[in-house]
Amino acid sequence: MSVLDIDEAVNLTRTGDLWLFRGRTTVDRAIRTLTNAPVNHVGVSIVIDDLPPLMWHAELSKKLLDQWSGEHHRGVQLHDLRQAVTQWRDVYGQASWLRQLAPEVGRPEENAALRTIARLDGVSFPSTAKLATRWLRGRDAYVPRKKRGHRVRPEAAFCAEVVAETLMEMGILLDDRKATWFDPGTFWSGAYLPVAEPWSYGGEVQVGPEPEGQAPSSRTRWR
């Protein structure tokens, strides 16, 4: 498997690309066990005009500046991408991968992403118990398009939910189920991801060396 350093990956990434992470903490392992997935965190790239590459995701930490609000807070955040990947790798000790979207998005998709950021930025990250409950309820959450109403701001949202909601708003994912149906492993190449035509995602490209003690990555089918 080819390996990119962080600078190479940041320079290559485009809006809609996926960033996947796997850590070793008890919480990381609990998320992977609950969802039967090889990864425990996912974010999506936002790369627009002259802005630095950004990562849109949800996490518990408030160490990095939220580029949308200009504040430090927990929950759903828009971070400088290089800083975010560095924090997840070097501070949290997480292995990381990039999956690229094809073809490149246009202005309509970028505008849709910005609308979602405006709606969700600052939403709280759920407690571990509530995270599990939201995900389990979402597993039987198919929602026909005609029954989906105006998108509202939830009280809490986890990382995969934020990424799914954003990609559905952009038209990259099919809009036939609730965002809580998704978990980080849904965005791994071995799982079923309801991508709309003409979009597709490439395989995982490792970013940086495996942190010490991490198991080799695998493309085993997890669903």
pLDDT range class, residue 143, cuts 50, 70, 90: low
What the block records as the tokens of 1 is 């498997």
So what's the pLDDT on residue 206?
Answer: 96
Residue 95 has pLDDT above 50, yes or no: yes
Written as one string, the DSSP assignment of the chain is --EE-HHHHHHH--TT-EEEEE--SHHHHHHHHHHT-S-SEEEEEE--TTSPPEEEEEES---SPPTTTSS--SEEEEEEHHHHHHIIIIIT--EEEEE-EES---HHHHHHHHHHHHHHTTPBPPPHHHHHHHHHHHTT-B--GGG-------SB--HHHHHHHHHHHHTSB-SSB-GGG--GGGGSTTS---BPTT-EE---EEESPPPTTPPPP------
Write down all domains in the chain, each with its CATH number in brackets: 3-207 (3.90.1720.10)
Average pLDDT taken over every residue of the chain: 85
pLDDT in tens, 164-185: 999 999 999 999 888 989 999 9
Dihedral sign for Cα 71, 161, 34, 29, please.
negative
pLDDT range class, residue 218, cuts 50, 70, 90: very low
